[in-house]
A and B are shown apart, each in its own frame.
Chain A
Amino acid sequence: MITAEGLKKTFGEVQAVKDVSFSAADGKVTALLGPNGAGKSTTLRILSTVLQPSEGRASVDGHDVLTAPLDVRRAIGVLPHNAGIYDRLTARENIRYYGELHQISKIELNRRMDELITVLEMEEFCDRRAAGFSQGQKIKVALARALIHHPKNVLLDEPTNGLDVMATRALREFIQHLKREGRCVLFSSHIMQEVANLCDDLVIIGHGEVMFEGTLDRLASRTQETDLEEAFIKVIGE
């Protein structure tokens, strides 16, 4: 369960986020949709505690991002935009590093690692060093290490960026898998079609403000548009 109330974030003169409030429920996939520079990444960074909001509040499973950042970090798994993995470590070692940072016991860590490697179909390359991995393989490693502590909430910042059709499809299935496990999945995207196939709830952000929050059906009825792209453009007012 993720909630944001009146989030604001300024970098010097620039107001990246002006007013963002929404909530993402457990067992649902919530999409953060908006054009480039709308404030999606900044919002996700505030929720993942690497940035602090200038104003407003945000919490994950009741833990406030400002007052209890370590509790928040234990409750979330994050895949940042263009996340890098360590080239000189094997896929397994990359995942193990994060598991150890979460202080998961050795036996438990090995068990979860095997599980994630199976679910994400990483058997073929899991013992190879990451240098030379394809973009799809890298994302899988980054995902596995983000989920090694079995977080209830999963934040994905443009996860399909740079993936081919097959890899995107696999990722979509994996997100559905996370949802079936009852987790709260929040992901950002600027691609309308992708969102339509995946999400239950939709949060549209434009110019640092939330323009719409609700289901896809509600979006259609409010904008009187059956075409999602048209609806999206109407909402952000371009």
Chain B
Amino acid sequence: MKGLATVLKKECIDNLRDRRTIISSFSLAILGPALFVGMMAFVLNTALGEALDPVKITAVGSDNAPRLMAYLERKNTEITRAELADPRQSVRDGDHDLVLVIPDDYQARYRKGEINALALIHDSSGLGRSKRDMSRARALIAAYGQVIGALRLELRGIDTSIVSPIVVQERNVASPAARALTILATLPYLLVLVVFMGGFYLAIDTTAGEREHGSLEPLLTQPVSRAELVLGKLGATVCFAAMSLVLFLLSFWIAVPFVPLERIGMVLKVGLVDCVVMFLVCIPLMVFAAALLAVVASFAKSYKEAQTYLSIVILVPTMPLIITQLMNVETSTWLMFVPSLSQATLVSDVITGEIIEPLHFLISAVSTAVLACLLAYLAVALYRKERILV
């Protein structure tokens, strides 16, 4: 056991001094939640903005059509009245996003029943708001025009339905809450990835790295059993995976209050206790990840080769998550037998405030731990072979 502890300590100190390992192990853990909050805030704000924020229009010659202005203002439009010498240029220059030009002879033509052409000047190369405002303004003005047209037909005793044989009714069922939940569902996936990324470089450095560097052979001449040697290295990898997860959970805990979830009436309460539960759920996964990464890295002849293999391996645990999400699989007992998938499901339960079933927790922990032990045994067996040197 003393040999194991010595190896573990050395690998941790050695790798904590490596900037490359630190960046690779912890950047996702620290930046992930910030990215997550940013995405959530963006989606929520745009979703809510579309529904509630008024359309902003700059009107030139607004006095010519006071009733149109009144109609627009009733329909949640913010009108800035202005007299612009060259409305096109001012939109081009970006001084105004959307300009409605009402000609001076508007009233005269209106009274005569002639067509009035209103110019709506916008810049389609702009992003975000201006496009949305443009289509909303166009729809509002068209609707106003239809109201006037209908009134005129009725005055002449004609049924208005004759000019609108088809009516399209659009219903968007996606609520802001549903969109927020879609992003929330990626969180367990991120968490599993953070565990694997935490151990990624250590798994390489302690196996393929050590061999490439020529320090493995002298190490094998030390009076330490291969089991202690390998388990010490795995222990260090688990430590890094754990550090990565702790940083992630801390960062997440700090970031959560910044998500404007209350605007859609949702409550996301992730307390420190929840973070501890999530950590506990993931402990067997850390051992599993460390052993899996170490076994694969042991087959590689060089650092680079190991890196290539592991970047593929790291996708494997995320596969079941993607598949179940696409297939919309419900939480069930059999899911708990699959490492990474069971942890992700349990973490998802914690986040959405559901109570974890003790049986599920138990099955997840035991089955993942058993697989982790098998992989660790395989790693030790690989190190007992002479081939590990060549």
Residues of A within 8 A of B224 (CB): 101
Bound-complex Cα distance A118 to B44 (A)? 68
A91 at the interface (CB under 8 A from B): no
List the B residue with the shortest CB-CB distance to A50.
B220
List the A residue with the shortest CB-CB distance to B232.
A101
Task: Tell whether, in the assembled complex, residue A89 and residue B222 are in contact, meaning their CB atoms are under 8 Å apart.
Answer: no
The contact of A101 among B6, B18, B213, B215, by CB within 8 Å, is B6
A73 at the interface (CB under 8 A from B): yes
The contact of A52 among B14, B223, B225, B386, by CB within 8 Å, is B386
Per DSSP, chain B at the interface is: helix
Contacts A86-B14, A101-B224 hold; do A79 and B218 have CB atoms under 8 A apart?
yes
- B residues contacting the other copy or chain, number (CB 8 A): 23
List the A residue with the shortest CB-CB distance to B21.
A88
Task: Tell whether, in the assembled complex, residue B221 and residue A78 are in contact, meaning their CB atoms are under 8 Å apart.
Answer: yes
For the complex formed, measure the closest distance between the CB of B10 and the CB atoms of chain A, giving whole angstroms: 5
Bound-complex Cα distance A76 to B17 (A)? 31
The contact of B217 among A50, A74, A102, by CB within 8 Å, is A50
Contacts A101-B6, A146-B218 hold; do A74 and B213 have CB atoms under 8 A apart?
no
A98 at the interface (CB under 8 A from B): yes
Residues of A within 8 A of B223 (CB): 70, 73-74, 101-102
List the A residue with the shortest CB-CB distance to B222.
A101
Bound-complex Cα distance A238 to B215 (A)? 35
Contacts A48-B221, A50-B220, A73-B222 hold; do A85 and B215 have CB atoms under 8 A apart?
yes
Residue contacts A-B, CB under 8 angstroms, 27 given: A45-B389, A50-B220, A50-B389, A73-B221, A73-B223, A80-B214, A80-B217, A80-B221, A83-B214, A83-B215, A83-B218, A84-B215, A85-B215, A86-B10, A88-B17, A89-B13, A89-B14, A93-B13, A97-B6, A98-B222, A100-B2, A101-B3, A101-B6, A101-B7, A101-B224, A103-B3, A129-B17
Residues of B within 8 A of A (CB): 2-3, 6-7, 10, 13-15, 17-18, 213-215, 217-218, 220-225, 386, 389
Other A-B pairs, 18, CB within 8 Å; known A80-B214, A80-B217, A86-B213: A49-B220, A50-B217, A50-B221, A51-B386, A73-B221, A73-B223, A80-B218, A83-B215, A83-B218, A84-B213, A84-B214, A84-B218, A88-B15, A100-B2, A101-B3, A103-B2, A103-B3, A142-B218
